[in-house]
Amino acid sequence: MRYKFIISVCLCALSLNGISQQKNSEELQYLTAAWKGERFADGRPRVSDQLIERAKKIGIEEAWQILVNEGYKNQFEGNWKMVHDNVPVVGRAVTARFIPSRPDLEQQIKARGKEEGRKGNTNAWPIEILQRGDVYVAEAFGKIAQGTLIGDNLGTSIFNKTGTGVIFDGAARDLSGLAKIPGFNAFVRDFHPSFLEEVVLGGLNVPVRIGSAVVMPGDLVISEREGVLFIPAHMAEMVVAMAEFIALRDRFSKDMLKSGRFNAGQIDNEWTAEIKSVFLEWIRKHPEEQQISAGELEQLLKKRTW
């Protein structure tokens, strides 16, 4: 029964018509039940555009620590090759699971795709559903040679739709062409000149494994040179707010240590009423920084999840 369920999720997730689409939406809503906000028509959690913009400014180390302290220990993956070292990929995950090809299975998948009006190879199908702010996240069992999910043409299509990039546990081709797409980036296992072969799409917007990380459709993706962090949608607002506060606290702490107003022992331990008061005054004098109230400060200090 368990295996039948898994196969059903993988195959039915490829269909976007009528009853199948409704079943997929219900399944995705069930798996992401902790998310209470807006959703896309397919059931995928819709983290807000405003939160995505805020997420572009937070540090991956702080966000990782917050998740680990909350029990989410399988959300980071490193060891990537990139098109650009200094272009982060941030947005909502659209997930795809690719599997080694098997003639009978691939025939059925492609036949159904043709009935639904899909065109091209199955690696192009996830691109059809991408929207602005999405990040295409693909599990492709780490395949390099003949595991190239995109080249510069598909890369251009992806960037035109999303304004972001891709995270592939697989490969890409046409590195020089991809590098000419301003603002685009790809985190991949490697680049290879071969074309995609012996690979077929086995699941669209389903849970995927990217190395040691678990990714759900709608997860908030953030990245830096050291790797990629997948933040569960229902945790995104809290993680971003806490990461912003930690960064703010660190800037204040450095200012106080440089000025000699407080020493390291005072700053690194529970803050006194005097330090809290000085902190709030420091924020008021720096309008470019995140503005918080005394009540918000108390709540943030109580959490101590960093």
Please write the tens of the pLDDT for every residue from 240-267: 999 988 888 888 999 999 999 999 999 9
User: Any idea which residue has 């959490």 for tokens?
Assistant: 303
Distance, in Å, from the CA atom of 93 to the CA atom of 138, rounded to the nearest integer, reads 9
For residue 24, what pLDDT is reported? 82
Is the domain covering 2-233 a CATH 2.60.40.1110 domain? Answer: no
Distance, in Å, from the CA atom of 292 to the CA atom of 137, rounded to the nearest integer, reads 35
Strand blocks (E) in 101-226? 134-139, 148-150, 165-169, 171-172, 185-188, 190-191, 199-204, 208-210, 213-215, 220-224
Q: Note whether 27 and 43 are within 8 A (CB).
A: yes
Distance, in Å, from the CA atom of 278 to the CA atom of 261, rounded to the nearest integer, reads 10
Lowest mean pLDDT among 2-11, 77-86, 123-132: 2-11
Q: Can you give the pTM of this predicted structure?
A: 0.87
Per DSSP, the residues of 178-213 read HTTSTT-EEEESEE-SSPP-SEEEEEESS-EEETTE
Q: Between 306 and 150, whose confidence is greater?
A: 150
Please write the tens of the pLDDT for every residue from 202-217: 999 999 999 999 999 9
Residues in the chain: 306
Residue 82 has pLDDT above 60, yes or no: yes
For residue 173, what pLDDT is reported? 97
Distance, in Å, from the CA atom of 250 to the CA atom of 72, rounded to the nearest integer, reads 24
| Mean pLDDT estimate for the chain | 90
Element (H, E) at 294: helix 294-303
Please write the tens of the pLDDT for every residue from 110-144: 999 989 888 889 999 999 999 999 999 999 999 99
279 burial type by CB count under 10 A (0-12 exposed, 13-18 middle, 19+ buried): buried
DSSP annotation of 124: G
CATH 3.50.30.40 domain position(s) in the chain: 2-233
